[in-house]
């Protein structure tokens, strides 16, 4: 690192990312077993085998009539077959009597197919009169019958390891009678936003106040990266209140994220609270997101990001989300080379992350400007355009790396 004093450091993006990785290296979340109701979005630790056959038993795919297919084998000569209806089987717990040749039973979708029956004739393909049903054409063996284990047999893989569980996966587990699943644990992340100017979303701001978008954004990013928000606070420019929030956060968290309060001016509450505790405060050669700091409180690492909303969000995207995704077992978002639809200017000695939007032809265009306050521009973006350090101009048609948002 070009300058690694505890304060006043100057680092590249990669150097600061490596520093944060080292700072958080002691975090090692254990696996945990959770009920299905809490498993959505979690990542499986090991391959899961089905303990049962699916379906569990031989059942009907349709409302109709269970038959011996041999009774209908002669159909096709224009002479329908009329069979006596000797019973009815509903979709409920029961063991039906075997079906005698030359007879049929009315059967409902999902009901147990009786022994002897090897096909089901849908009700819409039949005509009934009293206790007789008329069937006009032959049926193949197994038609509209779901055989036991035809979806999956007991002892075979149901879900793989490393899978992020969606609703369809939870349904498969439930269908197999599995009520809990072992998943990667969620790292606990505290989110503290700072500034006397902040008010909560839904409040009525007075002149000089702004809505606290960072709290919403960081919490959402933490959740999307497979971690859990363990603590939240909004702190004014008061060092005592800041330290109190940090201690409370440290008691329930694996890592603490703060936004704002780390520049070199006055009223920089995070820097004032943490510098006496050995915080590392300085600058990363990136735009937006230059001011950065790290610290530790009560043995818990603290990542201090700048307070402008775009700077905060990009700092989370660049420095924190990749680590959270690794711990959660999630894949990193794609980073793809793309062609610029227009020329781009950057700034010397900065690695710039421009907001970009994908075009139908696969090229990428910039969205809004580089300012760290342009939240609407970030919201309209699909990707970040990664302009390398010391690149000040890129022509239309240049290839750039893009980070999928």
For the stretch 110-139, pLDDT in tens is: 999 999 999 999 999 999 999 999 998 889
> What pLDDT band is residue 76 in, cutting at 50, 70 and 90?
low
Who's near 148: CB < 8 A, 6+ residues apart?
53, 55, 56, 57, 58
Are 353 and 347 in contact by the 8 Å Cβ rule? The answer is: no
Please report which helix (H) or strand (E) contains residue 239, including its range: helix 239-250
pLDDT surpassing 50 at residue 391: yes
Pick 276 or 79 by higher pLDDT.
Answer: 276
Kindly state the tokens that stand for 17: 């990312």
Are 199 and 209 in contact by the 8 Å Cβ rule? The answer is: yes
pLDDT surpassing 80 at residue 265: no
- Segment 319-328 shows an average pLDDT of 95
Q: Tell me: cis bond preceding 141? Omega within 30 of 0 counts.
A: no
> What pLDDT band is residue 14 in, cutting at 50, 70 and 90?
very high
Of 11, 74, 69, whose CA–CA distance to 318 is shortest?
11
Pairing label, strands 393-394, 180-184: unpaired
> What pLDDT band is residue 374 in, cutting at 50, 70 and 90?
confident
For the stretch 273-293, pLDDT in tens is: 999 999 999 999 999 999 999
- Centroid of chain to Cα 388: 29
Q: What is the pLDDT of residue 1?
A: 41
Q: What is the pLDDT of residue 73?
A: 82
Q: What is the pLDDT of residue 8?
A: 83
| 84 backbone dihedrals φ, ψ, rounded to 5° | -75, 140
pLDDT surpassing 70 at residue 307: yes
Q: What is the pLDDT of residue 7?
A: 54
pLDDT surpassing 90 at residue 266: no
Are 375 and 309 in contact by the 8 Å Cβ rule? The answer is: yes
For the stretch 23-59, pLDDT in tens is: 999 998 889 999 999 999 999 999 999 999 999 999 9
Q: How far is it, in rounded angstroms, from Cα 121 to Cα 113?
A: 12
Where do the domains of the chain lie, and which CATH numbers do they carry?
7-30+185-328 (3.40.980.10), 34-54+150-184 (3.90.105.10), 59-146 (2.170.190.11), 335-404 (2.40.340.10)
Q: What is the pLDDT of residue 78?
A: 63
Q: How far is it, in rounded angstroms, from Cα 61 to Cα 68?
A: 16
- Segment 68-95 shows an average pLDDT of 88
Q: Strand (E) positions, 59-103? A: 59-60, 64-67, 81-89
| This prediction's pTM | 0.82
Kindly state the tokens that stand for 190: 């505290």
Q: What is the pLDDT of residue 152?
A: 96
Are 205 and 192 in contact by the 8 Å Cβ rule? The answer is: no
For the stretch 330-348, pLDDT in tens is: 989 999 999 999 999 988 8
Pick 309 or 267 by higher pLDDT.
Answer: 309
- Segment 179-192 shows an average pLDDT of 96
Least confident range from 90-99, 289-298, 304-313, 362-371: namely 362-371
DSSP class per residue in 125-192: GEEEETTEEEE-S---TTTTEE-TTSSB-TTSEEE-TTPBP-HHHHHHHHHTT--EEEEEPPPEEEEE
Are 293 and 279 in contact by the 8 Å Cβ rule? The answer is: yes
pLDDT surpassing 70 at residue 372: no
């Amino acid at each position: 690192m070009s300058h690694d004093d505890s304060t006043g450091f100057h680092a590249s993006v990669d150097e600061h990312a490596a520093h944060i990785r080292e700072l958080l290296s002691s975090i090692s979340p254990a696996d945990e077993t959770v009920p299905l109701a809490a498993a959505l979005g979690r990542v499986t630790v090991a391959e899961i085998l089905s303990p049962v056959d699916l379906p569990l038993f031989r059942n009907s795919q349709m409302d109709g009539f269970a038959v011996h297919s041999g009774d209908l084998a002669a159909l096709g000569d224009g002479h329908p077959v009329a069979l006596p209806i000797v019973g009815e089987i509903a979709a409920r717990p029961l063991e039906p009597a075997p079906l005698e040749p030359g007879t049929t039973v009315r059967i409902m979708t999902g009901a147990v197919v009786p022994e002897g029956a090897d096909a089901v004739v849908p009700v819409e393909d039949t005509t009934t009169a009293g206790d007789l049903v008329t069937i006009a054409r032959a049926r193949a063996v197994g038609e509209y019958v779901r055989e036991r284990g035809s979806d999956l047999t007991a002892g075979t893989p149901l879900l793989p390891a490393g899978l992020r569980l969606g609703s369809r996966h939870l349904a498969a587990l439930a269908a197999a009678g599995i009520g809990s699943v072992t998943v990667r644990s969620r790292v606990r992340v505290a989110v503290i936003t700072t500034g006397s100017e902040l008010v909560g979303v839904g409040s009525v701001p007075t002149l000089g106040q702004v809505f606290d978008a960072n709290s919403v954004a960081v919490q959402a990013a933490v959740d999307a990266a497979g971690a859990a928000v363990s603590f939240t606070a909004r702190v004014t420019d008061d060092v005592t209140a800041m330290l109190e929030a940090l201690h409370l956060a440290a008691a329930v968290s694996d890592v603490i994220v703060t936004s704002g309060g780390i520049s070199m001016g006055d009223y920089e509450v995070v820097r004032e609270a943490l510098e006496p505790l050995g915080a590392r405060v300085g600058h990363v050669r990136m735009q937006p997101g230059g001011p950065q700091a790290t610290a530790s409180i009560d043995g818990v690492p603290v990542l201090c990001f700048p307070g402008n909303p775009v700077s905060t969000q990009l700092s989370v995207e660049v420095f924190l989300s990749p680590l959270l995704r690794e711990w959660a077992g999630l894949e990193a978002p794609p980073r793809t080379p793309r062609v610029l639809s227009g020329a781009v200017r950057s700034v010397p000695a900065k690695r710039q992350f421009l907001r970009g939007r994908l075009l139908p032809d696969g090229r990428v265009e910039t969205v809004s400007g580089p300012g760290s306050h342009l939240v609407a521009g970030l919201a309209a973006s699909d990707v970040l355009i990664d302009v390398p350090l010391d690149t000040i101009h890129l022509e239309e048609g240049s290839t750039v790396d893009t980070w999928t948002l």
